[in-house]
Amino acid sequence: MTSAEEIINHFNNKAKLSEFLSQFLELKNRGNSHIAICPFHKEKTPSFTVSDDKGLYYCFGCGEGGNVFNFVSKYKNLTAKESLKFICDYVGIPMTENNSFAKDNNKKKIIEINKVINDFFKDSLSNNKIILQYLEDRKIKKSSIQKFSIGFCMSRIEPLKKYCEQYGYFAEDLLEVGILIKSSKDNSLFNRFGNRITFPIYNNLKEIIGFGGRTTNNSKIKYINSQENEIFKKGDGLYGMTQNLNNIKAENQVILVEGYLDVISLDSNEITTSVAALGTAVSENQILKLWNHLNTPIVCFDGDEAGRKAMKNLTGRVLKILKPGKSIKFINLPDNTDPDDYIKSFGKESFCRLLEGSIPLSEFIWEEIKNKHEIFTPENIALIDKDIKIICNKIEDRNVASEYYRFLKKKKNDFFRNVDNTNFYKKNDTTKLKNFNEIKDINEIILISILIFNSKIMLDSLEDIASLKFKDLKLQEKKEIIIKKIINSQDLKDFELTNHFLDYFSEQKKLFEKVKLDHFKDLNNNEKKELVKNILKNLQLPALIAERDLLKKEMIENIKNIDMPFLLKKYHKLNKEINSIKKREI
């Protein structure tokens, strides 16, 4: 650590001031703060107040106040250097020699420039009807625009330079904070956030330390952030915490979402307890910061491949630093849905029910372990035991690790106690499914299931699917209903069509869900398309065989036909395709 401010900020990120002061004082809870008898003057009634949110203390009796550094210096009568060393030892960080005066002045300058820049961005947005209309189309309320100080950065740099010059900041200052960038080709200057909606990022003192920006054109990079510097580290901050902190405390709830607009969209839907990581994977520091405010944050990432992968990666980082009483929960959104999509489709009340039914980390991990294995042979069951050990070894707190091992082993034992040894379905399930080897026309069922759960990726194959005649007349009828609905509902999203189909075919809902789980849940879109292509060939097999047999008959009856070389070539091609399909396993 190189400066007093950095050490104090690190302390506030990793520890609570009240827990630190409890070494020296007898603190009592009082609402959102703590009180104690002041150690700096004699009193009978407690007037010494501690705020964990601000990282500050104040005595209403004698007027003493400050941060952790001020307390240590006065209470223990230490020099500045000794006080910083004491704090570093408490949070487990090294302290290095450094003259931090110049750095502290530079940080103050960056914060002042950021405020001026943000005022310019807000003015630019208020005068840009196109971007205001874009936000209105996204159902972003004016109150949310004001609450989060949303702005807009135009591509031209001259208006920004001219505005900042009024406050004594010039191009070199804007280059220093990273708002302007110098081209490596011709040394010309351009705006880092040009043609982007801007989102100021605050620290816990409500100072702007950086910006996020979302593209308004077709840029391949949707979101960017300020460059990292002395005061801005992407892995430390949480967007929306400053604006939503009071609601988070009042409702005893915090929702971690993926991006800036997720936080703002939820706010526009009157859900005011969300925060977001700053465009990066969630870091340990951000998890610790969440835990400073709430023991069990709820994670609600998008229901796409990237969102599910991010949730899985997050579990690894959380497991490492789990402590007694600290954890996270998860919401699984429908496929290709973000929080805003869900609320628009199902309403705020439905989203709130998802929050109430969020999945504990331990249950989420068990489902991940279980779903890795399609068939529960003795060898795979042994792999589950191995997975449980690997997961528990990631947890540094041995007490928590021991409880996780006990929990996951019990989940495994309970699961297999309720499983049929032949087909691996629950014995007490009245809607028990057949073993798939016993189901006739499995290819037809898989094709119907993909149509139900991933209709949009099937558009290129709809004509081929429509031309097929299924052996199962009931499935043929379902196929025709589904294709007609897909063609007439191009504006609906995958998850909306899925919900419609599952309601419509409720009697076979479990079958279709099981087919998805066993055959294509973990496939990406290209792999699903390849699977469909192979299934179509399988289903076309009877027609190909009939065509080959008819061709063979024609060749035998017309042995002297002058087109025999052509017929032979066609026959061999059909035969090769038939043999290829027969060898393929779906």
Pick the CATH number of 4-91 from 3.90.580.10, 3.30.1300.10, 3.40.50.970, 3.30.300.30: 3.90.580.10
Nearest-angstrom CA–CA distance, 502 and 482: 11
Q: 536 φ, ψ to 5°?
A: -60, -40
Asked whether the CA dihedral 155, 157, 158, 161 is positive or negative, the reply is positive
Mean pLDDT by 10 residues, the chain (586 residues): 73 87 90 89 91 90 90 85 86 65 71 95 95 92 96 94 91 91 86 95 91 87 88 90 93 94 95 88 91 94 88 94 95 84 83 89 92 75 90 95 95 76 38 39 81 81 80 80 80 74 76 80 81 78 76 64 63 71 54
The predicted pLDDT at position 91 comes to 83
Q: What's the angle, vertex CA 250, arms to CA 247 and CA 252, rounded to 5?
A: 100
Q: Residue 557 is encoded by which pair of tokens?
A: 């009856």
Q: Which residue has the tokens 């707190």?
A: 397
Per CATH, the architecture of 102-225 is what? Alpha-Beta Complex (3.90)
Question: Residue 212 CA to chain centroid, in angstroms?
Answer: 17
Nearest-angstrom CA–CA distance, 425 and 434: 9
Q: Residue 384 is encoded by which pair of tokens?
A: 């589950």
Nearest-angstrom CA–CA distance, 111 and 108: 5
SS3 state at 200 = strand
Q: What is the 3-state secondary structure (H, E, C) of 240-300?
A: CHHHHHHHHHHHCCCEEECCHHHHHHHHHCCCCCEEECCCCCCCHHHHHHHHHHCCCCEEC
Per CATH, the number for 236-417 is 3.40.1360.10
CB-count exposure of residue 360 (10 Å: 0-12, 13-18, 19+):
middle
Nearest-angstrom CA–CA distance, 461 and 414: 43
Nearest-angstrom CA–CA distance, 451 and 494: 10
Q: Using N-to-C axis directions, what is the helix angle for 4-14 and 68-75, rounded to 10°? A: 100
The predicted pLDDT at position 280 comes to 62
Identify the DSSP state of 508: G
SS3 state at 114 = helix
Q: Residue 211 is encoded by which pair of tokens?
A: 């910006």
Strands 56-59 and 180-182: unpaired
SS3 state at 224 = strand
Q: 199 φ, ψ to 5°?
A: -130, 105
Tell me the residue type at 231.
Answer: I
Ordered alpha helix ranges (H), 129-256: 129-137, 142-147, 158-165, 171-177, 241-251
The predicted pLDDT at position 99 comes to 42
The predicted pLDDT at position 429 comes to 37
